[in-house]
Structure 1
Amino acid sequence: MTIDPLAEAETGPVIPSTGVGVLDRAVAVLDAVKLERMTASELARYLGLSVPTAHRLVTSMVTHGLLSRDEDGRLRLGARFSLPFLEQIASPVLTDLQQETGETAQIWVRRCEHRLCLASVDSAAELRASVPVGTLLPLTAGGSAAIVLAEPTTAPGWVESISRRTPGLCSVSAPVRRQSGETVAAVCVSAPVLRVGDTGPGALYGDAVIGAAARLSEALDRT
């Protein structure tokens, strides 16, 4: 049975009050889109908010990854709600990717204007590219994962970066996407330039990175 929350629009749900109005409204928005995907204007009607207030709230929640828009522009729970599951399934995928390439494999997610290292499996080589899990880097600092997260596109493929963020290091990344096409993460292989040579990381590891990203995308679609 399909739930139609807009059928209740004349009375609307009661928004619990904790005294922190913005937080109360944000939780009410999350509860609403869990029942039915809606546009910001439909949310305004359903929750009894003004349209400008609903649009401002939704814009901020999308920026913070609490909400996302599907292909029709309707709102759903955002990438932040996929992260616990993504962390859970990341380890075997990254381990396989590291073993296949011999280099460090990572998953990065967007945090406003930064990227966050969600999981990493380091290369066994003494000379390797490595960042701790939890590392936060500005998207403007560059790197292939930053490009994927800052400039999401529906086109398939990989993006490579050579000495863009750190001289002597290179990487190749591919997007992890939901069925709607929304990019929720970037799978990345990083390596020293001297070990990759003139061939470049994309030619060497691009197909492996795309395969790992596809595995994670398919797993997310099943949730």
Structure 2
Amino acid sequence: MSQTVDRALTILPLLAEGPASLEQVATRLDVHKSTALRLLRTLHEHGMVYRQQDQRYRLGARLFALAQQAVESLDIRGVAHPHLAALNAQTGHTVHLAVYEQGEVVYIDKVESRYPVRMYSRIGRPVAITVAAVAKLLLADLPEAERRHIAERLDYPRYTPRSTPDAGAFLVELARVREQGWASDLGGHEESINCVAAPVRGPDGRVCAALSVSAPNVVVSAEELLRMRPLVLRTAEAVGAELSGVTPSRPASTAAPLTEGAT
């Protein structure tokens, strides 16, 4: 990378910390003020920085617009599918990817298991929101007031004796999922099907999707499936890292708690 480009790119994270004067920019770059001014003027011409009335510089609107366009152009399914296929190849079990849209949690991708027993689920089909592991992860990341609002307006079908019975129990489960950073459905929708899921985080750190591994207990027990959790978490982290354009900073063998996000 050329020295000029390197210096210009160094200015952007500096200004992300807050407005800075010409002298502060020059000091951080360890260059003469005339050099810093030339770089700032170029960035200003392209809308990447803006000079305030107090003569300090801040990030420009064009930079935020580009960032928003980059996020909107991300194809979560396209990015995630190779990872889902790899997870399916390693486990042999059904793998799903789901997102939260307009009050529903919907499967947007699925890789079938390698054994004859198949799950009744389809891409584009809403999941059983009160019991599905992917739904718990997606709703758990919402702000508390929104979680409560949703929980109090849902119906709670008793698919099996292990189904979530009411809003109170659902909110307790969402709080637990938010804290531990993963979710499971052990016979809550179908008594014979178990599932473990992990959150996929987007560039803003929020949970933008959830992926899961599901299997009938005639093939693998719930305990055996739960032992695959580190692999599921690593896969979700890899998807999130690719979406964000970064390299995973830690092994995903343990979960990061879901944190309170902005409304």
In the superposition, the TM-score normalised over structure 2's length comes to 0.52
Paired letter, 2:134: A
| 1:165 equivalenced with 2:189 (yes/no) | yes
Larger Rg: 1 or 2?
2
Task: Render the CA deviation track for 1:50-90: whole Å, top value 9, x for unaligned.
Answer: xxxxxxxxxxxxxxxxxxxxxxxxxx8499826x5212122
Is 1:206 aligned to residue 229 of structure 2? yes
Matched, 1:111 2:101: yes
What residue number does 2:34 align with?
Answer: none
Structure 1's unaligned 5+ residue stretches are: 8-31, 38-75
Name the structure 2 match of 1:189: 213
One-letter code of the match for 1:135?
A: R
Q: Does 1:145 align with 2:134?
A: yes
Using the TM superposition, give the Cα deviation of residue 155 of structure 1 relative to its aligned residue in structure 2, in angstroms. Answer: 5.3
Equivalents in 1 of 2:230, 2:95: separation in Å?
A: 14
Structure 1 pair 124–33 and aligned structure 2 pair: CA distance change class (3 A)? farther
Cα drift, residue 116 of structure 1: 1.1
* Matching residue's letter, 2:135: A
**Taking structure 1 as reference, are residues 93 and 105 closer, same or farther at Cα in structure 2, changes over 3 Å only?**
same
How far apart in 1 are the matches of 2:118 and 2:104?
23
The number of residues matched between the two structures is 158
CA RMSD of aligned residues (A): 3.1
- TM norm structure 1: 0.61
Matched, 1:36 2:27: no
- Residues 95-128 of structure 1, C-alpha deviation per residue, up to 9 Å, x if partnerless? 1100111100111011132111111110021113
CA contact (8 A) 1:178 1:221 kept: yes
How many angstroms does 1:4 deviate by? 4.7
